[in-house]
Structure 1
Amino acid sequence: MKKFIVYILGILTAVSACQKGEINSLNTPVVGGIITDPTRSDLFNLVTGAESGMRNNVGTYLDGTGVIGREIYRLSGSEPRWTTDILGGGTKLLDNNTFYITNPWASRYQVMRQCFILLDAIKTTRNEVATDAQKKAFTGFAKTLIGYQLLLNINMTDSNGARIPVSDNKNLGPVITDPGVVLDSVLKFLEDGKTDLTGSEVIFPLSDGFAGFKTAEGLLRFNRAIAARVYLYRKNWTAALTALNESFFNLNGDFNIGVYHSFSTNGGDLPNPLFLPPNSTGEVRVAQPSFAADITPGDNRITKTAIRTATASGSGLSSNRDVVIWTSLNSPITIIRNEELILIYAEAKIQSNAFPDAIVALNRIRIGHNLPPYAGAATQAALITEMLRQRRYSLYMEGHRWIDVRRYHLLNTLPIDRAGDDIWARFPLPQSESNI
């Protein structure tokens, strides 16, 4: 990321998720100045700011879903709520006005707001600045990001609801408590993004997290990959398979081909917020013990964790395995990659009763991780269990485990670590939404 990400992010850093009224910046023109006859540099900065903003509080999102989903323990000398509120310790409840919901929630709506500013700016963009085909790429990218960011928020709150983002920030709609309705809105943004990206021309810069996906064709394949995930959540198996065929899904391809959040320690950029050196003390992220206890011997996904020199303990919890997915402050964080798409294909095929196709996909995952081919029953129930197991290990700490067990009504299968702990089904709606 370039240092100029600060140019546009300055507009939004002090903005709440759903703040009404004009947004003023301390170091840039007001929004009205940006959306009236923007320059190409203005448009580029809006795109770069939106991409950069997607990274804000992504670590909090993944830690929160990872702790609730019993993938990790987040032991912190400075923040006990990782082991109290989020695990439901004793009488503790999730707080609707605390960092673990308010920070990622607001960050996602800030990106959506920035994308709407970009959409408004394109309406007044002169043809000398961008051709019609180039304008379509800007709007297609903005709509794709709006859909993706809204998806992350409804993943957190589920039936506690979310607001459908709108261009007019002074006239916000109601909180929608039916997650299906919100997911359908996500799909509408994605489908509109697909329409705009088709036949467009990309001229704006993107980070190396989008390496291989910086063209209109690449962004369209990214859009379709996210859509496949959402169609899966909506149990529209046919549409999920169609979206996969339009994405970068490759049954025999590299598991790690995909789109990522890019980080670095360069001046003006952001370091990876999830990296902690192995064997750290004070601030520790360790695997919940069942990760290693339940894994099949020989499964090479065990290397997503590493044995510590000394067991980490705190608040009645202990683990001897660090999470080592991110190996430095420069490591990328996954948005979506081919391994997830293979598992989406497997799930859609299972639910469509196309068991031989599903088994081929599951075996692609198993053999790719040093396991023998699947030898269980060729029934829907058995294959769903196998698919969820492979998702657990393949997509470890990528933000899926908690959502997977919730959508299959299996929250009660997650381990309870201490007497009196709870498994939460959803985060509360942030208090700020109730104050509007």
Structure 2
Amino acid sequence: MKNVKKYFASALITAAVLASCNPLQLDEVQDPNNPSVGSVANNATPQQIQFLVTGLESRHRGYVTNISQAWNTFGREVWYLNASDPRFQTDWLGQNGRVPDRSYFGFGSTGGGSWATPYQAIKQADVLILAAQNTSLIPETSKSAVRGFAKTIQGYQFMIPANFVYENGIRVDVRDPLNPGPFVPYAQALDAIKAILDEGDADLAAAGTGNFPFILTRGFTGFNTIQGLRSVNRAIAARLNAYRKDWQGVLSALELSFMNLGGPLQIGPSHPYGAAPDIFNPLFYVPDAAINTIIVVHPSMLDDATPGDLRVQNKFFQRTTPVTVTTDAGALVGTHQDARWASNTVSIPFIRNEELILLKAEAHANLNQPALAVEAINIIRNAAGIGEYTGATTTEALIDEILYQRRYSLWAEPWGHRWIDARRYGKLSEIPTSYDGGTVFTQFPHPQAELNWDEYSGD
């Protein structure tokens, strides 16, 4: 994080100097998080490119808080208990007939972390690509590397709004913010995202070998080479191909990813956090703290657990005093909290080896290759200390087993895996609502501000 702080500090100093010369000339301020296009569009310096790379990493993690709290609530992996505002419970759990609307609580007028924030990262990547392309101060291989990195992040970020609104569709063509393209259906959006990721992989391949030419944060430790970034790109492509039901595509992507059947399950790139001027890990809560605003383990995760599962032991911390919040449908009691983070500066992985192994199992199951599916499942089961799989090996039985293992292996990760998994296999009705008297949502409408653009932009 020292490098991040150095670049943040340099950006602030540069801004102060420019402001002292001409306080009205704001277009020249070099801010890694909110760069003006004009200041970097022509012959950007390597340092300016570095600012944009660091800024993109920062934008890349902007979705984490909202998705972790909300989507994992939709899938009943967690409850986000908030005694000061009951809407975090009543609205997000769909109590008393509440349904998603265009101004749904907790997402803001533009969709917050589930809509606007991913698009901000996508646009940041566009600025980075433009800056690298239009400068003569870095070599062509570096330009290719930057494009590949930026498109890899874009592919990841586009999947967030796509899964938020689902069949309502998203805009993929947003390069011209004043003239965005139309909404495209979910399947078409996924195909477009695949093209972006494939382009990113090709750009990285054209960059040669060796280290990425700019400094990445510790979130990419172990992946800050060209080959390392390609392996991250392919890991994201494997997740995407599972959503596309391209099972051979999943396996092909995994072959080029960082999947390691014999390696640590935690390995993968992450979102780094730290003290000021950075931000703290938003998922960390002091164990047993006397608070009434906290993410707690959904009780079904405890009730449905396999005895002796080490994931339950390692991820769930039993509180001395439960957290209780009263809602219209009754009291919600959180007996356990998240135990994954040792401190508020621990990085949060955004894709891990454990997920990749489970994707491999899922692909083999869907391709009617049960022996290979079971082999991958057993890697996960043995790591969890629950023994090898002995159930039926029909496709349906194996998918049920894989989805069960994904519940505990990928619990509360900043993606809402269980909500998406249940939806793509037609199992939303299996998500338990008896604990909170709510409903399970299928998808969300476009935020009102997004529709206002189409209605008023021509005026």
TM over 0.5: yes
- Pair 1:209-2:219 in alignment: yes
RMSD: 1.9
Q: Which residue of 1 aligns with 2:58?
A: 52
Identity across matched positions, percent: 39
Q: CA deviation at 1:312?
A: 1.6
- Pair 1:431-2:452 in alignment: no
- Pair 1:272-2:281 in alignment: yes
Q: CA deviation at 1:165?
A: 3.8
1:151 to 143, 147, 159: 159
- Pair 1:99-2:106 in alignment: yes
Q: Which residue of 1 aligns with 2:182?
A: 174
Cα distance in 2 for partners of 1:110, 1:407 equals 27
Cα distance in 2 for partners of 1:284, 1:393 equals 20
Tell which deviates more after alignment, 226-235 or 420-429: 420-429
Q: Which residue of 2 aligns with 1:14?
A: none
Cα distance in 2 for partners of 1:429, 1:420 equals 26
Tell which deviates more after alignment, 154-163 or 344-353: 154-163
Cα distance in 1 for partners of 2:70, 2:27 equals 31
Q: Which residue of 2 aligns with 1:372?
A: 387
Alignment of 1:214-225 (within 5 A): 214-225=224-235
- Pair 1:336-2:351 in alignment: yes
Instruction: Describe the superposition over 1:288-330 as per-residue Cα deviations: whole angstroms up to 9, x where unpaired.
Output: 1110111110110112111110122112211211122223211
Q: Which residue of 2 aligns with 1:285?
A: 295
1:310 to 294, 307, 321: 321
Alignment of 1:188-267 (within 5 A): 188-200=195-207, 202-265=212-275, 267=276
Letter in structure 2 aligned against 1:80: P
Q: CA deviation at 1:435?
A: 1.0
* TM-score (norm. length: structure 1): 0.92
2:194 to 187, 199, 216: 187
* TM-score (norm. length: structure 2): 0.88
Instruction: Describe the superposition over 1:66-118 as per-residue Cα deviations: whole angstroms up to 9, x where unpaired.
Output: 10000111111233222011101113222433433621121111111011111
Tell which deviates more after alignment, 136-145 or 313-322: 313-322
Name the SS for the 1:435 alignment partner.
helix
Q: 1:6 to 1:89 in 2, by over 3 A?
A: farther
Letter in structure 2 aligned against 1:109: Y
Q: 1:25 to 1:85 in 2, by over 3 A?
A: farther
Cα distance in 2 for partners of 1:72, 1:24 equals 43
Contact 1:264 1:329 in 2 (8 A): yes
Cα distance in 1 for partners of 2:155, 2:96 equals 37
- Pair 1:353-2:362 in alignment: no
Q: 1:108 to 1:412 in 2, by over 3 A?
A: same
Note the residue ranges of structure 2 that are not aligned, 5 or more in a row.
13-25, 454-459
Instruction: Describe the superposition over 1:264-311 as per-residue Cα deviations: whole angstroms up to 9, x where unpaired.
Output: 11x211111111112232212111111011111011011211111012
Contact 2:204 2:230 in 1 (8 A): yes
- Pair 1:71-2:77 in alignment: yes
Q: Which residue of 2 aligns with 1:37?
A: 43
Q: Which residue of 1 aligns with 2:18?
A: none
Q: CA deviation at 1:418?
A: 5.4
Q: 1:165 to 1:81 in 2, by over 3 A?
A: farther
Q: 1:429 to 1:25 in 2, by over 3 A?
A: farther
Q: 1:25 to 1:232 in 2, by over 3 A?
A: farther
Cα distance in 1 for partners of 2:265, 2:57 equals 23
- Pair 1:62-2:68 in alignment: yes
Letter in structure 2 aligned against 1:142: A
1:135 to 124, 135, 143: 143
1:82 to 83, 88, 96: 88
Contact 2:234 2:254 in 1 (8 A): yes
- Pair 1:410-2:418 in alignment: no
Cα distance in 1 for partners of 2:271, 2:61 equals 6
Name the SS for the 2:107 alignment partner.
helix
Name the SS for the 1:239 alignment partner.
helix
Letter in structure 2 aligned against 1:190: L
Q: CA deviation at 1:7?
A: 7.6
Instruction: Describe the superposition over 1:200-238 as per-residue Cα deviations: whole angstroms up to 9, x where unpaired.
Output: 152111111111000110000000000000001101011
Q: 1:116 to 1:368 in 2, by over 3 A?
A: same
Q: CA deviation at 1:25?
A: 7.9
Q: 1:94 to 1:418 in 2, by over 3 A?
A: farther
Cα distance in 2 for partners of 1:27, 1:192 equals 28
Tell which deviates more after alignment, 319-328 or 59-68: 319-328
